[in-house]
Homo-oligomer: A and B are copies of this chain.
Amino acid sequence: MTTRQLPHIVIVGAGFAGLTAAKRLKNAPLRITLVDRNNYHLFQPLLYQVAITGLVPSQIAYPLRTIFRKQKNLTFRMGEVTSINLQEKYVKLNGSVIAYDYLLLAVGGETEFFGMESVREHGFQIKDIESAVATRNHLLQMFEKASRETDAAKRRAMLTFVVVGGGPTGVETSGALAELIAHVMRKEYPELDIREARVILLEAGKALIASYPEELRRATFQLLQKKNVEIRLGARLMEYNGQRVSLGDGTEIRTNTVIWTAGVRAAGITERLGAAAAGSGRVRSEATLQLPDHPEVYVVGDAAYLENGDGQPLPMLSTVAIQQGKAAAENILRAIRGVKQKPFRYKDPGLLATIGRNAAVARIWGLSFSGFVAWLIWVGLHIYRIIGFRNRLVVLINWAWDYFFYDNQVRLITRE
């Protein structure tokens, strides 16, 4: 049997789901084409660290060609998939057609603004390297501008940082930002009265990290408060014009910075599939991760809508994406061998969120942790998960340094 005759699988997206599936199929009798619009895999859980100057992009992004250098059955193609033809079984990439026998859609998510164009226009997000670097540049610019601003009201607006969304990203970003101000900016901007700098966390619902157990929600709230993050629950952002945030209760906050972490939806390409969509633009898949009526197409990760045993939709988390990527790869192997497909079951590995430099909350093995112990668990786990030995070492050195010296080296303002 020549290579030409082996079944061809196209994997769209090299996030956690696509990457895991591609690796799982390493020794399979398949030709794999992995497609991504970027030439790297991004370790998204640490992206907020780029925005708050804790890490640089190369520490959390790893070139796909390097990752797959030794996987002979895989070809990488950089580019954006512009259309998918489920009937004729091909995708269009950079204007050319790539036919498939199997298709794995792992296209991931993008920011959901819920139609709020004013936030999309004036706000910042932390969704990819470019938006994280843009956020970093803006935060640092605000301190530079404030340091020479004599109008007190304008200066306070520059030093007021609003983070929207009380999920893990909002909690992690606001906590880390408050620490950056308290420990680093305080020293580097002696011309500023650092007490003018505020971090405000807005959450429309009644609790932070609402999906976490009660004791962790409470610990998170207290830890953030201790770090001087102003938490406003039940606060719904209505409008933001770049100068002023308007809330649902009529309150206004003068600020030049809104970081939006309050919504994720499946990447746009899923809308053009003609497949049944669920909330957040996600594609309804079978329990086997197959697309209904298209057993050769698998949908995984943020793009897929699947319910848990208890009827709850699975969350858009990297842990779900990784497990689904592995499960889809195994079902594809079953399909090739003519064996029955196996339904996907999510095994909850626990919950984890950091709140700044030395505190976190975690729920692992049925136990709740908070504070420094949870932070150590978080550091260990994330460093372990980051791809590539050197990256791990550099991240470790950076963190160890930051931890012992309250220092961050990457406060560079680059121009876009």
Contact = CB atoms under 8 A, between A and B. Distances in A.
Interface of A: 38-40, 56-58, 61-63, 65-66, 69, 75, 77-79, 94, 96, 129-130, 133, 140, 144, 147-148, 187-189, 191, 388, 390-391, 393-394, 397-398, 401, 407, 409-416
B390 A188 contact: no
A148 B35 CA distance: 12
B412 A129 contact: yes
A77 B145 CA distance: 9
A390 B394 contact: no
Contact of A409 (B75, B148, B390): B390
Contacts of A58: 56, 409-410, 412
Given A58-B410, A58-B412, A412-B57, A66 B191 contact: no
A207 B75 CA distance: 43
Given A57-B412, A188-B69, A394-B394, A144 B75 contact: no
15 contacts: A39-B411, A39-B412, A39-B413, A56-B57, A57-B414, A58-B410, A61-B412, A63-B412, A65-B189, A75-B191, A77-B148, A96-B148, A130-B415, A394-B394, A394-B397
Contacts of A62: 409
Contacts of A79: 148
Nearest to A191: B75
Contacts of A398: 390
Contact of A411 (B63, B75, B148, B388): B63
